[in-house]
Amino acid sequence: MLYVMETVLLLSPTLAATGNTSTVSRLQNHFERKSFCVLVTSPHDLFSQKVNYNCKLKRINKHIVENQVNFVILIHAFKSGSCVICTCSNSCKLCVKYAVVFGGTDLNEDIKYQDKFEVMKTCLNNAVFCVAFTESLLAVARIHYPNTPAYLQQQALSYQLYNVSMNDSCKSHVSTKTPLVFLLSCSIREVKDPLFLLEDFLTWRKLATFSRDIRLLILGPVTDSEYANLFFKQMQTLIMAHHAQCTHNQDDKLHINLKSVISFPPLPGSTGIEAMNAWLSIPDGSAIQYLKPFEQSEFQELLRTETFFAMINCSKSEGMSASLLEAMACGLPVLARNISGNNAVITDSKNGLLFSQPQEFVNKAMELIIDNDLLKKLVCNAKQYVFQSHNPYKEGDFYCSLLTKYTSKVDNDFIL
Ligand SMILES: *[C@@H]1O[C@H](CO)[C@@H](O)[C@H](O)[C@H]1NC(C)=O
Ligand SMILES: *[C@@H]1O[C@H](CO)[C@@H](O)[C@H](O)[C@H]1NC(C)=O
Ligand SMILES: *[C@@H]1O[C@H](CO)[C@@H](O)[C@H](O)[C@H]1NC(C)=O
Ligand SMILES: *[C@@H]1O[C@H](CO)[C@@H](O)[C@H](O)[C@H]1NC(C)=O
Ligand SMILES: *[C@@H]1O[C@H](CO)[C@@H](O)[C@H](O)[C@H]1NC(C)=O
């Protein structure tokens, strides 16, 4: 049988700062496992600021020809999609077929703006297929791009995490340990809404009837410095307000909690896991702590230990949350805001808990602390669910068969 090696180019806007879990690295793994040759690049790499491109599409076509690329996959219909729009007067077309994998924010956010909407429309009209992570994104895609075959493929775990965690027993985290750390892992931007729970969390922590040392760890990169300024300011304001409330109250117990709200910025002299451990070792340390994200493989190791009690996701808008899936694979119970990206993965009270309001979060989190059977049930169901529905081997088969179907020059019987 004649075998021709196909070369696929992945064009992804988020090349830097992505690790094993990102879509681009999973796709790369999938294709390489099936002996495709894979090239990865980003719009930023292709278009250096110094050169003025008459037509971006011509630049990409040059790259395609030089590297003998047979097929292009654009990740993110707007950010990568804008690279395949002809901007000269020659009505250029991409010289090979291409497909689009939606990023989530493209269909949730970018589509609301007329100029971006037009870019995505042109991009999708010429694509041979597109892939969405969730039913609701798929529905949006089918409405706007009825002529482009659209497929649903849930995001998978990385092969590495799948491998290491699949044989972990479905242990449940012991909720008697102290402190109980709730983890909020998100980039500091408005759409992730990291302020959503802070006030209620601080109030909860001070409840006289609730004597547990609960903490909220916010881990994430600052990707929008304007929003981050607002975020840190508000965090400080909230903490000060609660601090003040504590000092007004002469109750001994609340006096202890006074310490608990002081040191929210990183502890001086230490960073990363060391800083976290320093914070955790302070009895009644600050209720809320922000730290820069840890190195990815270290972070995944930590998820599998009993450092954290539960994982929170309170984004307003989300394609599909890789960090929730990771937590589920690692045996951490998850509490997530009831939005489409999250409720595509989580069935409330079955494999996780959904909340819409901060107080609902507090009630459910409290239930999780008190009810060990509930905790165990959620953790075991979640594990089983991700291993079935977010299996990287299945995701790999899905993409490779699509690619084989659309790249093969000879007639091919491959049935999806
Ligand atoms: C990806 O996983 C490998 C294998 O565990 C690890 O060595 C590497 O550091 C990870 N990459 C990132 C970016 O975390
Ligand atoms: C995962 O495990 C399989 C089977 O044990 C192995 O063939 C594969 O190389 C592993 N992949 C990674 C990324 O560790
Ligand atoms: C997990 O268990 C299966 C079945 O017992 C075994 O085939 C596989 O090699 C194990 N994987 C790892 C990473 O230990
Ligand atoms: C939810 O999960 C996504 C995907 O990992 C992550 O990007 C986001 O920051 C999370 N949001 C929150 C608020 O935890
Ligand atoms: C989550 O939101 C959906 C859609 O708004 C709603 O139908 C569902 O009842 C909500 N689930 C929970 C647990 O609140």
SS3 label, residue 345: coil
Q: Residues with Cβ < 8 Å from 363, sequence gap 6 or more?
A: none
**Residue 157 three-state SS:** coil
How high is the pLDDT of residue 411? 41
Are 187 and 221 within 8 A, CB to CB?
A: yes
| Closest ligand 1 atom to 295 CA | 14
User: Which amino acids bring their CB within 6 angstroms of ligand 4?
Assistant: 184-187, 192-194, 313-315, 318, 321-324
- Same domain, yes or no: 345 and 364: yes
Q: Please give the radius of gyration of the chain, using alpha carbons only, rounded to the nearest integer.
A: 24
pTM of the model: 0.81
Tell whether ligand 2 has an atom less than 6 A from the beta carbon of residue 160.
yes
Same domain, 254 and 357: yes
Residue 314 CA, closest ligand 4 atom number: 13
Which residue segment(s) compose the domain that 366 sits in? 162-389
Assess whether 244 and 133 both reside in one domain. no
The reply to whether 137 and 199 lie within a common domain is no
In this structure, the answer to whether residues 168 and 262 fall within a common structural domain is yes
Q: According to the model, what pLDDT value does residue 131 have?
A: 97
Would you say 8 and 148 are in contact if contact means Cβ atoms under 8 Å apart? no
Is 416 part of any domain? no
Probe target for ligand 3 pocket from 165, 166, 304, with the most ligand atoms within 8 Å of CB: 166
Please tell me whether residues 260 and 395 are part of one structural domain.
no
* Same domain, yes or no: 380 and 395: no
Q: In tens digits, what is the pLDDT along the chain, a chain of 416 residues?
A: 445 678 999 999 876 544 556 889 899 999 999 989 999 998 888 887 666 677 888 889 999 999 999 999 999 999 999 989 988 888 888 999 999 999 888 998 899 999 999 999 999 999 999 999 888 899 999 999 999 999 999 999 989 889 988 877 776 656 667 899 999 988 787 877 888 888 899 888 887 677 788 999 998 888 788 888 888 888 888 877 776 565 444 444 444 344 443 445 555 566 788 889 988 888 777 888 888 889 888 898 899 888 999 999 988 766 677 889 999 999 999 999 998 889 989 999 999 999 999 999 999 999 999 999 999 999 999 999 999 999 999 999 999 999 988 876 444 444 33
- Residue 31 inside a domain? The answer is yes
Are 120 and 46 in the same domain? yes
In angstroms, the CA 406 to CA 383 distance is 34
Task: Write down the pLDDT at residue 111.
Answer: 94
Q: Are the beta carbons of 61 and 97 closer than 8 angstroms?
A: no
Long-range contacts of 160-168 (CB under 8 A, 24+ apart): 160/20, 161/20, 161/21, 161/300, 161/326, 161/329, 161/330, 162/329, 162/387, 162/391, 162/392, 162/393, 164/304, 165/304, 165/329, 165/330, 165/331, 165/383, 166/329, 166/387, 168/304, 168/330, 168/331, 168/383
| Gap between the Cα atoms of 292 and 135, Å rounded | 33
Return the CATH number at 41.
3.40.50.2000
Q: Are residues 225 and 358 in the same domain?
A: yes
Question: With helix as H, strand as E and coil as C, how does 27-44 read?
Answer: HHHHHHHCCCEEEEECHH
CB-based contact 288:234 (threshold 8 Å): no
pLDDT of amino acid 408: 65
Asked if 401 and 371 sit in the same domain, the reply is no
CB 154 within 8 A of CB 398: no
For residue 305, what are the contacts with CB-CB under 8 A and spacing of at least 6?
none
pLDDT of residue 245: 60
Query: How much is the pLDDT for 309?
Result: 93
> Are residues 102 and 246 both part of a single domain?
no
CA distance 3 to 174: 54
CA of 402 to the centre of ligand 5 (A): 34
Token couple for 84: 């395949």
pLDDT of residue 416: 37
pLDDT at 243: 66
* Ligand 5 binding pocket includes 339 (Cβ within 6 Å): no
CB-ligand 5 contact for 126 (6 Å cutoff): no
- Give φ, ψ of 372 to 5 degrees: -65, -30
Distance 338 CA to ligand 5 centre (A): 6
The CB of 354 under 6 Å from ligand 5? The reply is yes
Residues 59 and 199 both lie in one domain: no
Residue 181, classed as helix, strand or coil, is strand
Task: Give pLDDT, residue 139.
Answer: 96
Maximum Cα interatomic distance, the chain, rounded to a whole number of Å:
83
Q: What are the contacts of 176-181 at 24+ separation with CB within 8 A?
A: 177/306, 177/309, 178/212, 178/213, 179/212, 179/213, 179/214, 179/215, 179/280, 179/285, 180/212, 180/213, 180/214, 180/215, 180/309, 180/369, 181/214, 181/215, 181/216, 181/217, 181/280, 181/307, 181/308, 181/309
Instruction: Write the residue with the smallest CA distance to atom 2 of ligand 4.
Output: 321
* Ligand 3 pocket residue status of 167, Cβ below 6 Å: yes
